[in-house]
Amino acid sequence: MKLQERLQAFLEENGYTYTRLNPLETKKQLDSLRVRKTDKIDAEKLAQSQFVLNRKPTYVQEEVYQDLRDLSRFYQNLTEDTVRTKNRLHKVLQVTFPEIESILSAPTGEQYWQLVRAFPSKAFVLEVSEMELTASIQQSTAKRISDKRVAYLVGKLIELAKQSYCATKKTSPMIEEVRYYAQELVRLSDRRQAVLDEMVKSTQPLPEYEILLSIPGIAETTATSIIGELGDIRRFQSANQINAFIGIDLRHYESGNFLAQEHITKRGNPYARKILFKTIHNIASASHTNPCHIADFYEKRKRQSQTTSTKPHTIASMHRLIRTMYYLITHNKLYDYTLTQNH
């Protein structure tokens, strides 16, 4: 894949047109042409087939779309690293100080990780004064925090420490492990935000950014990630081409109340599939206050379904979302729920 990208960069920098081929489709085409299989014969037959099939040159996207794709991949890798590190921190805290996970409303975020770093076990709470605890809590967040809130957190931290029975000593290597994961999560969080800010800055001038934001349930993170993975979708001839690019096969059989399950080919872009899969659930969640015809379709499918799995409904809704995005972007229109009710 890296060699392919380097060749593509060389061709584009030197002004050559080229055709990027689908490996599966190419294999089928060559199978009907070749007698013997060698790399040399394959290359020759592939070149000869171009004169017969006259494939269209690949659409070269503007550099901003390629940069956005790289940023999107980086952002998703950082997200995966964050999830892994959170799981490791949770696991080691079960030994050192599990009670601290309930200090805030959710065991996540920079303030929580800073508190865990300062108090990896109960000994670090009970051996210091309330004044020192107050100072640590105030320093755990860059946001302004009221005296009442600080006093509440100090009291709760002491209470949790008194309830705890630590399975390790204060000098245990596990204490350093807790601190390492907490610090790493702060670093990953800062880096993710910096990458997201860069993505938003790059996508804001693009007309499709505002169009995607007009779809209920799509916020800036999702909009930038969709553009990053799909690129300039005006290069596709139809919404079905985007389906193939992503790798979702939405052929299904319906008869009366019977609905066969959709299949995903998984031959396309796995990053784009993952983003759009999550987008459907965001749209469905937002529909209580911000209606969307895609959420209506998703809920209708769920009600009519005889299975508990929501996956086939999500896949079918992804197809509808792709059609909607393609229409809006190619016609340069913002989403309007009222217009969808006329069809």
- Averaging pLDDT over each range in 29-43, 74-88, 230-244, which range is the top one? 74-88
Instruction: Characterize 75-98 residue by residue with b for buried, 16 or more Cβ atoms within 10 angstroms of its Cβ, and e for exposed.
Output: bbebeebbeebbebbeebbeebbb
The residue extents of the domains of the chain are 82-198, 206-340
CA distances from 33 to 39, 158, 272 (A): 14, 77, 34
The answer to which of 58-67, 82-91, 120-129, 152-161 has the lowest mean pLDDT is 58-67
The answer to which of 3-17, 60-74, 261-275 has the lowest mean pLDDT is 261-275
> How many angstroms separate the CA atoms of 9 and 34, rounded?
30
**Banded model confidence at residue 29, pLDDT cuts 50, 70, 90:** low
pLDDT digits (tens, 9 = 90+) for 230-262: 999 999 999 999 998 898 864 544 444 444 554
Structure confidence at residue 266 (pLDDT): 62
Global model pTM greater than 0.95: no
pLDDT digits (tens, 9 = 90+) for 108-140: 999 999 999 999 999 999 999 999 999 999 999
Alpha carbon 282 to chain centroid, angstroms: 12
Segments in the chain forming alpha helices (H):
2-13, 23-31, 39-53, 63-96, 110-118, 123-126, 130-139, 147-163, 173-203, 207-213, 220-230, 239-246, 270-286, 293-304, 311-330, 337-340
